Chain A
Amino acid sequence: MVKTLEKVDVVVVGSGWAGGIAAAELTKKGYKVVGLERGKAQKRDDFVGSKDELRYDVRKLMFQELNKETLTIRNTLDETATPNRSNDTNAINGTATGGSGVHWNGMVYRWLPTDFEIRTKTVEKYGEEIIPKDMQLQDWGIKYDELEKYYDQFEKTGGISGEPDPLRPGQRSDDYPTPPMKETDIIRTFTKAAKDLGYHPYRIASANISETYTNPDGETINACVYCAFCESFGCDFGAKADPIATVLATANKTGNYELRNNSYAVRIVHENGKAVGIKYVDTETGDEFIQPADLVVVAGFTFTNTRLMLLSEIGKPYNPKNGTGVIGSHLTAHQRNLTHTRVRGFFDEKKFNRYAGTGALGVTMDDFNVEQLDHTKLDFLHGFCLRTSQRGDRPITNNHVPAGVPSWGKEFKDKSIFYANRRIDVQQQNGALAWRENYMDLDLTYTDMFGDPLLRVTSKFHDQDRNIVRYAHQRGKELLEQMGADYITVPEITDETEFDKTSLSDHTGGGVIMGDNPETSAVNNYSQVWDMDNLFVVGASSFPLMGSSNPTATVGALAYRAAEGMIKFLEDGGGQLVKKEESAKA
């Protein structure tokens, strides 16, 4: 029997950045919030002494357990999808208190003004004809200038360490709250080469922060000690801005927040076009509950957000054949086997302290980003950042050798040891645009532990996706030549390079996208569902495209904007926060 619990003001699915920000802002205003988190309870004590590469980075201890739920994958509409069975194929999602925000790298980027008005700007500059036939370019219904204050708020909450991008003057209302991280030999080498080539490098803004900082909510984050166990790990030192150290702590302090761990949300319960609450299963006992609330917030990352909408039958599912419907559309990602590939430079004479570092310690540049490029001369749209970072190479996962060296045996061993500290990688990260037949829906064969259909991902790479990466790799190669690398390996992107399980990415967006027209978007610019006023779906699921850098600052900014909307909604007695008729021009 499903037990219905006592009603609260707000129920929030997920305790990551998106759910955490909503919880903090609402509880500060006095609203009673219940958070539901499928993963276990976790706090900073769990991370002390956790420098175990095998357990955390290789076996992915902090990631979603796929035995409970996974994705199925296929390339085209006429294929049968197969499940992504194991985290060693590719791990994507966080679980447990704080979500992926606990074991993230901490690279913080603001997306570009063009990203939010991608269609308008592209057409303005090049005309409609430049957009490939099956590409879906759509504005967000909000502009960078309106979002700026929320980016600022996210950066101040996290104490982010950085310096402004020289190519974006006038786009910031304030400096980063803390100065950039320390500079390393790798950073100096990259910066010099980039400047010599006439580019505009600047330091990657970092949530592993440069000095101890107390945020506007009164939470203190310690100075990072460059211990090099950052990505895939919780911070041993309380030095990484994460939801546990910041927004969840703020929510807890108010006495108005209750986080229930091991609580798996399975449905958004709704009646007469209004969300009533969340149905969830206590995975420790198997008991089912409904948590009723006046306002329902779904912030379980792209995949859960999309799947809960589909399972709960809210909104119109997207149909790739005729392009109708919205839920599941605009799936975009920084794919691991494409976007995330790296050009590697090997140096015979130079040795770097690659074992030391932090998740976001690095330098980046936007000289090839969407606004700097002339696309009439190129075979792709959008653009990319180029960067290098020094995370601290751990030995199991870093055994890179120059091209031509085998991947095992005598020569491999010798060279992988020789080059362990003699390497600089240049990474590109490109904007990813949506395609008509790349989408998500419910699988027909495979189910989760509760018997509900898994989310099915249908996705294929297009020439555009490959071309931009190939072009970026060449720019990366030039940078490494300028640095004086003895060998440079450029990943081979052939026409056969295709979306598969190794492409899955923590930078995946879409499914419940934001826009200014209910016909072509699922939520308004407060992340409020057009079809259900008291339901907010928050996170990268609302991205109509994936920008050319890491997504979380944008998730955070949209979450602050959404929280403002939720408070407005609760204070003003409900209703749509964005007038449909005014804005439904598109």
Chain B
Amino acid sequence: MADNNTNNPKNTNEVSDPGRRSFVKNTGIAVGGVAGGALLGGLFTSRSKNNNNANSTADKGTAKEKRYEEARMYFTRMADFAILEQAVERIFPEDDNGPGAIELGVPYYIDKQLAGPYGSNVGDYRQGPFKGPKTSAADSSLDRGQIFINGLRAMDMESQKRFDTNFIKATEDQQLEIMTDFADDKVEVKGITSKAFFALLRSTTLEGAYCDPLYGGNRDMKGWKMKEYPVAIASYANMIEEDKFIKMDQVSLTDYQPK
């Protein structure tokens, strides 16, 4: 449909450059009729029309809204989950760019993933013997959920050993020191190398920061906003040839998929 405005970049904008140069000015571009309008028309419902201003809809009232998904599906011990929260925030911290892993919902995202088929390696080849180096999470005889439990508890034990305190009570620098040693494969974890556990922790943290919000991470699309990533835009045909950077509002699957 020709009035499908999700294609239209904002006419003008100033893009703040995180952490670096102050501002980059973008000249606006006017977008003509949607290329392949008839084609797009067949595919999109009116839902996408409502999304012209994804920013404002998403930002509105999030602070007050009750989040029913903030309960644990996988982790049984609160203590394990608390370590997870600290760890993912160290990997993807809050800063001038915007929210960190906790505010983005990453810990709950990971909890949900581990409660589902991914956590129990349903799609993987699981026949033994599990021989050879445990270089990746999949090479371990533990499933991903167990790897998280063993890994997080090993981080806590390491903190007790080195700093005589729980991981969550350790200072940020102490936490970083432990995590660096995990990443460098210097710590023992049962059933897996600390490096492979850390790689899993890192990759799931990034997933939680940038996945579609339908999974419980990337709350209010704030991960995407930081990266200026517009996501489910129906067509870029009108702007793909532009020299200038064009900033657009984000479109999530909730707004994109036909209903």
Q: Which A residues lie at the B interface, using CB under 8 A?
A: 48-49, 51-54, 58-59, 65-67, 69-70, 80, 82-89, 182-185, 188, 212, 222-228, 236-238, 348-349, 351-353, 355-357, 361, 392-396, 399, 407-410, 413-415, 417-418, 420-421, 445-447, 500-501
Tell me whether A223 and B253 are in contact (CB under 8 A): no
Encode contact with A along B84-110: 1 for CB under 8 Å, 0 otherwise. Answer: 000000111101110010000000000
B53 surroundings in chain A (CB, below 8 A): none
Tell me whether B124 and A85 are in contact (CB under 8 A): yes
B96 surroundings in chain A (CB, below 8 A): 414
In the bound complex, what is the Cα–Cα distance between A445 and B205 (angstroms)? Answer: 36
Interface presence of B151 (CB below 8 A) = no
Supply 14 further A-B pairs (C-beta < 8 A) apart from A86-B125, A88-B136: A49-B256, A49-B258, A66-B123, A67-B124, A85-B126, A89-B139, A182-B237, A225-B234, A226-B237, A357-B240, A395-B210, A408-B202, A417-B19, A418-B18
Residue of A69, A185, A228, A353 with most partner-chain B CB within 10 A: A353
Partner among B127, B253, B256 whose Cβ is within 8 Å of the Cβ of A83: B127
With contacts A225-B40, A418-B19 taken as known, whether A54 is within 8 angstroms of B207 at the C-beta atoms is yes
Smallest CB gap from B139: residue in A: A85
Tell me whether B215 and A414 are in contact (CB under 8 A): no
B18 surroundings in chain A (CB, below 8 A): 414, 417-418
Interface positions, chain B 118-137, Cβ under 8 Å from A, are 118, 121-127, 129, 131-132, 135-137
Tell me whether B206 and A399 are in contact (CB under 8 A): yes
Partner among A349, A395, A413 whose Cβ is within 8 Å of the Cβ of B93: A413
Say what secondary structure dominates the interface of chain A.
Answer: loop
In the bound complex, what is the Cα–Cα distance between A66 and B123 (angstroms)? Answer: 6
With contacts A67-B126, A222-B36 taken as known, whether A236 is within 8 angstroms of B229 at the C-beta atoms is no
Tell me whether B95 and A414 are in contact (CB under 8 A): yes
In the bound complex, what is the Cα–Cα distance between A297 and B228 (angstroms)? Answer: 48
Smallest CB gap from A225: residue in B: B235
Tell me whether A408 and B212 are in contact (CB under 8 A): no
Smallest CB gap from B236: residue in A: A356
In the bound complex, what is the Cα–Cα distance between A228 and B36 (angstroms)? Answer: 16
Interface presence of B59 (CB below 8 A) = no
Q: How far is the CB of B44 from chain A (nearest CB, A)?
A: 9
With contacts A355-B228, A417-B227, A418-B18 taken as known, whether A86 is within 8 angstroms of B97 at the C-beta atoms is no
Sorting the interface of chain B by its residue count into under 10, 10 to 19, 20 to 34 or 35 or more gives 35 or more
23 sampled A-B residue pairs with Cβ under 8 A: A53-B212, A59-B123, A67-B123, A80-B132, A82-B139, A83-B127, A85-B138, A86-B124, A86-B125, A225-B234, A227-B234, A228-B236, A353-B245, A355-B229, A392-B236, A393-B229, A396-B206, A409-B91, A413-B97, A414-B18, A414-B97, A420-B228, A446-B125
A-B pairs, 4 with minimum CB distance: A86-B138, A49-B257, A356-B236, A225-B235
Interface positions, chain B 220-248, Cβ under 8 Å from A, are 223-224, 226-237, 239-243, 245-246
Interface presence of B58 (CB below 8 A) = no
A227 surroundings in chain B (CB, below 8 A): 233-236
Smallest CB gap from A415: residue in B: B19
A53 surroundings in chain B (CB, below 8 A): 210-212
Interface presence of B176 (CB below 8 A) = yes
In the bound complex, what is the Cα–Cα distance between A52 and B257 (angstroms)? Answer: 10
A184 surroundings in chain B (CB, below 8 A): 240-241
Q: How far is the CB of A56 from chain B (nearest CB, A)?
A: 11
B257 surroundings in chain A (CB, below 8 A): 48-49
Interface presence of B67 (CB below 8 A) = no
Interface presence of B14 (CB below 8 A) = no
With contacts A52-B253, A223-B35, A418-B20 taken as known, whether A413 is within 8 angstroms of B92 at the C-beta atoms is yes
Partner among B93, B203, B246 whose Cβ is within 8 Å of the Cβ of A409: B93
B230 surroundings in chain A (CB, below 8 A): 355
Tell me whether A185 and B123 are in contact (CB under 8 A): no
Q: How far is the CB of A568 from chain B (nearest CB, A)?
A: 40
Tell me whether B125 and A67 are in contact (CB under 8 A): yes
Tell me whether B242 and A353 are in contact (CB under 8 A): yes
Interface presence of B43 (CB below 8 A) = yes
With contacts A222-B39, A236-B43, A417-B18 taken as known, whether A351 is within 8 angstroms of B233 at the C-beta atoms is no
Interface presence of B66 (CB below 8 A) = no
Q: How far is the CB of B47 from chain A (nearest CB, A)?
A: 10
Interface presence of B170 (CB below 8 A) = no
In the bound complex, what is the Cα–Cα distance between A184 and B91 (angstroms)? Answer: 34
Tell me whether A182 and B241 are in contact (CB under 8 A): yes
Q: How far is the CB of B162 from chain A (nearest CB, A)?
A: 19
Q: How far is the CB of A355 from chain B (nearest CB, A)?
A: 5
Q: How far is the CB of B232 from chain A (nearest CB, A)?
A: 4
Smallest CB gap from A351: residue in B: B245
Interface presence of B73 (CB below 8 A) = no
Smallest CB gap from B210: residue in A: A395
Partner among A66, A67, A237, A420 whose Cβ is within 8 Å of the Cβ of B229: A420
Partner among A65, A89, A395 whose Cβ is within 8 Å of the Cβ of B227: A395
B132 surroundings in chain A (CB, below 8 A): 80, 82
In the bound complex, what is the Cα–Cα distance between A356 and B96 (angstroms)? Answer: 26
Q: How far is the CB of A339 from chain B (nearest CB, A)?
A: 21
Interface presence of B188 (CB below 8 A) = no
Smallest CB gap from A393: residue in B: B229
B123 surroundings in chain A (CB, below 8 A): 59, 65-67, 86-87
Tell me whether B136 and A225 are in contact (CB under 8 A): no
Interface positions, chain B 1-58, Cβ under 8 Å from A, are 15, 17-21, 24, 35-36, 39-40, 43
Tell me whether B228 and A421 are in contact (CB under 8 A): yes
Interface presence of B149 (CB below 8 A) = no
B215 surroundings in chain A (CB, below 8 A): 54
Tell me whether A237 and B242 are in contact (CB under 8 A): no
In the bound complex, what is the Cα–Cα distance between A420 and B17 (angstroms)? Answer: 11
Q: How far is the CB of A401 from chain B (nearest CB, A)?
A: 12
Partner among A356, A415, A417 whose Cβ is within 8 Å of the Cβ of B239: A356
Q: How far is the CB of A475 from chain B (nearest CB, A)?
A: 26
Tell me whether A414 and B127 are in contact (CB under 8 A): no
Tell me whether B118 and A66 are in contact (CB under 8 A): no
In the bound complex, what is the Cα–Cα distance between A70 and B240 (angstroms)? Answer: 39
A407 surroundings in chain B (CB, below 8 A): 183, 202
Q: How far is the CB of B52 from chain A (nearest CB, A)?
A: 18
B131 surroundings in chain A (CB, below 8 A): 80, 82
Smallest CB gap from B97: residue in A: A417
Partner among A83, A182, A394, A408 whose Cβ is within 8 Å of the Cβ of B125: A83
B205 surroundings in chain A (CB, below 8 A): 408
In the bound complex, what is the Cα–Cα distance between A500 and B121 (angstroms)? Answer: 21
